[in-house]
Homo-oligomer: A and B are copies of this chain.
């Protein structure tokens, strides 16, 4: 595997696997630093293709295309965590890849992720492996109250999830997943959701943004607000959780830790996202160094930037047909549109961030 040597100098090329809005915003951030980007995507209409002259189209498991991609890049990163493990390994033999295969392998699978978090001594919802309908029933029996059955891999925006209130429902939900390995989690009656977006540099440097409070609608993020309702002690605790996770994964780049804030104030780790995160989009306007620039800095082996927040901010997603109101939205704040042509229901089309003077 290629190890990290000297930083990628200005003029070098960062490869980004995945050309959606996250890849697009990463490419825009890299450009500010004088770095070029090459986008690898499996379809020709990737939003990120609009912001760089360098792109490659190929399946995510096409080892020849990935080798060609590695050849033109000085470092490679990802906008999503679900690249097949052998494809990541293939890249990592040829070019510096961050985050690394180990971090991706653990966070790709809800069971290995939750097990990893538990071993660190961090709190999570109770969870049980489910690989059969019988196991689903048994696991439900161990819960106190309701549960959520989730596929172990490839879930996002609520896809591959079902809330279950009985052993019978748990078994049925498992069958609806058509054999996909699953995990049953105890339902957490939390007070609200928060997240920490943080970065870890190749040398172990750590920088966390202020944790936003997050609201979801139909399993899709609607709104992130900073400052959150977390007390200063909870904020510190959230950042400590992120640091423990980043260190244990020997992580390089930006990652997010989604948290449930329990009714008693306790912080439970819900999920780790090994990438820039929707709940960190507000950092573009409210911080000197955005999560996108921070990730590029880490991947390129540059010093991390300052994550200090100099304004209060509310970030709202623009979903599906809401994007048709772009002109009105442009009046209300910093509008970001992702260059997607079709405003399908549930599709993230853009976001808008509104700043207020910081209320210390």
Number of copies: 2
A residues 310-360 touching B (CB-CB < 8 Å):
310-311, 323, 326-327, 330-331, 333-339, 341, 350, 353-355, 357-358
Q: Are A336 and B50 in contact (CB under 8 A)?
A: no
Chain A 197-238 near chain B by CB (<8 Å), digits 1 or 0 = 000000000000000000000000000000000000000000
Q: A28 in the interface, Cβ–Cβ < 8 Å?
A: yes
Q: Are B53 and A326 in contact (CB under 8 A)?
A: no
Q: Are B34 and A338 in contact (CB under 8 A)?
A: yes
Query: How far, in Å, is A53 (CB) from chain B's closest CB?
Result: 5
Query: How far, in Å, is A313 (CB) from chain B's closest CB?
Result: 10
Q: A126 in the interface, Cβ–Cβ < 8 Å?
A: no
Interface of A is mostly: mixed
Q: Are B28 and A31 in contact (CB under 8 A)?
A: yes
Task: Tell me which of B11, B33, B51, B288 contacts A355 (CB under 8 A).
Answer: B288
Q: A49 in the interface, Cβ–Cβ < 8 Å?
A: yes
- A65 to B95: give the CA distance in the assembly, Å: 40
Size range of the chain A interface in the assembly: 35 or more
Q: Look across to chain B and name the residue whose beta carbon is closest to the beta carbon of A356.
A: B310
Q: A59 in the interface, Cβ–Cβ < 8 Å?
A: no
Q: Look across to chain B and name the residue whose beta carbon is closest to the beta carbon of A10.
A: B337
Q: Look across to chain B and name the residue whose beta carbon is closest to the beta carbon of A7.
A: B327
Q: Are B303 and A327 in contact (CB under 8 A)?
A: yes
Q: Are B326 and A305 in contact (CB under 8 A)?
A: no
Task: Tell me which of B335, B341, B358 contacts A33 (CB under 8 A).
Answer: B335
Task: Tell me which of B10, B24, B337, B339 contacts A326 (CB under 8 A).
Answer: B10
Query: How far, in Å, is A43 (CB) from chain B's closest CB?
Result: 15
A residues adjacent to B (C-beta < 8 A): 7, 9-11, 24, 28, 31-34, 36, 49-53, 55, 285, 288-289, 293, 297, 302-303, 305-306, 310-311, 323, 326-327, 330-331, 333-339, 341, 350, 353-355, 357-358
Q: 27 pairs across A/B with beta carbons < 8 Å? A: A9-B326, A10-B326, A10-B337, A10-B339, A24-B31, A28-B28, A28-B32, A31-B339, A32-B336, A32-B337, A34-B336, A36-B50, A49-B53, A50-B53, A51-B51, A285-B288, A288-B334, A288-B353, A288-B354, A288-B355, A289-B334, A297-B330, A302-B330, A305-B334, A306-B333, A310-B311, A311-B311
List 19 additional A-B contacts (Cβ < 8 Å) besides A33-B336, A51-B51: A9-B326, A10-B323, A10-B339, A24-B31, A28-B28, A28-B51, A32-B336, A32-B337, A34-B326, A36-B50, A49-B53, A50-B52, A53-B53, A288-B355, A302-B327, A303-B327, A303-B330, A303-B331, A306-B333
